[in-house]
Structure 1
Amino acid sequence: MAAAVVAALGVVLVLLYVRGADQRAQQKFQTVEVLTATAQINPGESLQQAAGAGKVELRAVTHNELLPGYQTSTSGLSGQVALTTIYPGEQIIASKFGTSATPTSPLAIPAKMMAISVNLTDPARVAGFVQPGSTVAIFLDGNQGGQPFTRLLLPKVKVLGVGSTTPVSTTTTNAQGQQSTEQLPRTLLTLALDQADAQKVLFAQGNGELALGLLTDNSVVAPGTATTLSNLFK
């Protein structure tokens, strides 16, 4: 009798274990279709805008891979925008959306300053040796009353970024009136300036040619008189 009871109990326990294993296996491989990014969603972009641009789709995800706050439709986050960049393959979750997104800049702009960009040739940007984080002096080649001059415009400026390079045609005329055209690559450089210096650089760029001087910790640079033909050899 005792042996029969033990055997019966063993059978019941085996059946319960097998049933539990089946349930666990079903839960492990059972999937839910959740919204997933297929392209980058930028901060400030609503889920409806992203869906309209084809940036999200429903994708089957197993229960073990579900993230808290997952979404199965766009209606759950209606009127909200992405608070951070959402990359392709990420699940759309509630914690990454809100009522407003604070714009962020990839540039480390110093306090009380702004970023402006200038378009310079390779020689004017020290043959490409100027890099983000460099400190430079800015010179202006200009013409005042028919008199060409070169003068220091700003003694010390921080470079925030170096952008793309594009070829630009430049035409020059010699003393005999003959013109020559050459292709010079120009590169966008982004500088950190306060308002007054930004206005100087923008005005100078529109009324002359800018050139940079790359500085080191030991460089000596100070404002001075303009160099012209009359004092070039003094």
Structure 2
Amino acid sequence: MNRRLGLTALAVVLALIGTVAVFAYAKSADRRAVDGIEAASVLIVDETIPLGTSWNDVVEGGFVSEEKLPVRATPSTALRDLDADVPDGEVATAEIKPGQVVVRAMFGERAPATGKLAIPARMQAITIKVPANAEVAGFVRNGSEVAVYATFKVEEAQDADGKAIAGDDAFASKLLLPRVSVLAVSQAPPSNVSGTGDDESGGLAGSRAVDAEVLVTLSVDQAAAERILLAQEIGKLYLTLLTNSSVTKDSGGRINLGNFAPTPLFRK
């Protein structure tokens, strides 16, 4: 009995010794492997870096820290330390999550916020307010192309003989912009030609009163924006819906006193 217990105890001791030996050997092998790998210093994100955060704020806010990684696992554009050469005007172009290696492409020039508006290059967005009947009964929608007309009161004009003519009810209409793109409209378009929704009891038409005002956002250049702002101050704006074959050209405008063109207030 005692002999059996002794053999059992000896077996346990030998097993423990073997386990310790294997562990020590593996640890030594890992250390030798690590010692043979070239390491590189990189920056690792410790706290989420919000979109638009400047590099200076990243450094001063303690968002990142330096760590060592094997060279083979390190991106070639990784930022190596807190003294990395990142211009002051550049910011995080997207939210950067913890654990990520900081690379140079994560920072770039600050982009102005435009929300969901996709403004074409070199253009500006401007919003005009028109009554429902001035935006083609609601058929103007995002992506439409429109012509912009202005109506305004004329203080004085000239007839065909150059004689000045004026009157309390003298109004003129003129093509302001021959073709511009619509970026957004504050109301959804009707679903059929009659201007109603799918519900014949009223639908969209019930909510679109004739005297309702609609906001239409247009894509324009600087000169067009200036003309729109002036026209809004002195008169009213109207839109016509265009197709690819629609023709618009500056005709000089029309006035309701005699058959002559008014002075070109909106000359390009």
Out of 117, 121, 128, the residue aligned to residue 126 of structure 2 is 117
Give 1 or 2: higher strand fraction: 1
Instruction: Look up the match of 1:108.
Output: 120
1:108 counterpart letter in structure 2? P
Structure 2 gap ranges (5+): 1-17, 35-41, 156-167, 188-209, 260-268
Distance in 1 (alpha carbons) for counterparts of 2:219 and 2:86: 40
- Offset, 1:215: 0.4
1:115 counterpart letter in structure 2? Q
Q: Which residues of 2 match residues 1-234 of structure 1 at below 5 A?
A: 15=22, 19=26, 23=30, 34-35=44-45, 38=48, 40-42=50-52, 46-49=54-57, 57-58=63-64, 74-76=82-84, 80-82=88-90, 85-89=93-97, 91=100, 93-96=102-105, 101=109, 107-109=119-121, 114-121=123-130, 123=132, 124-126=134-136, 127=138, 129-132=140-143, 134-145=144-155, 146=168, 147-159=170-182, 161-162=183-184, 184-193=212-221, 195=223, 197-224=224-251, 225-226=253-254, 228=256
| Conservation of the 8 A alpha-carbon contact between 1:131 and 1:162 | yes
1:203 counterpart letter in structure 2? L
- Output the TM-score relative to the length of structure 1: 0.54
Q: Secondary structure at the match of 1:151?
A: strand
Report Cα offsets for 1:130-177 as digits up to 9, x if no partner.
323x32111112222342333322222234x22778xxxxxxxxxxxx
- Offset, 1:33: 8.1
Decide whether aligned partners of structure 1 residues 35 and 188 sit closer, same or farther in structure 2, where only a CA change above 3 A counts. Answer: farther
Decide whether aligned partners of structure 1 residues 220 and 188 sit closer, same or farther in structure 2, where only a CA change above 3 A counts. Answer: closer
Decide whether aligned partners of structure 1 residues 129 and 163 sit closer, same or farther in structure 2, where only a CA change above 3 A counts. Answer: closer
Superposition CA RMSD, Å: 4.9
Deviates more, 1:15-24 or 1:32-41: 15-24
User: What percentage of aligned pairs have identical amino acids?
Assistant: 18
Distance in 2 (alpha carbons) for counterparts of 1:153 and 1:204: 8
Structure 1 gap ranges (5+): 1-10, 166-181
Distance in 2 (alpha carbons) for counterparts of 1:102 and 1:48: 14
- Offset, 1:207: 1.5
| Conservation of the 8 A alpha-carbon contact between 2:152 and 2:173 | yes
- Output the TM-score relative to the length of structure 2: 0.48
| Conservation of the 8 A alpha-carbon contact between 1:46 and 1:79 | no
Report Cα offsets for 1:200-228 as digits up to 9, x if no partner.
22211221121221100122333333253
1:206 counterpart letter in structure 2? E
Report Cα offsets for 1:37-67 as digits up to 9, x if no partner.
635433xx52123567x7x7359x9969875
Instruction: Look up the match of 2:205.
Output: none
Distance in 1 (alpha carbons) for counterparts of 2:243 and 2:50: 40
Number of aligned residue pairs: give it: 187
Q: Secondary structure at the match of 2:243?
A: coil
2:127 counterpart letter in structure 1? V
- Offset, 1:71: 5.7
Distance in 1 (alpha carbons) for counterparts of 2:174 and 2:153: 11
Which of 1 and 2 has greater Rg? 2
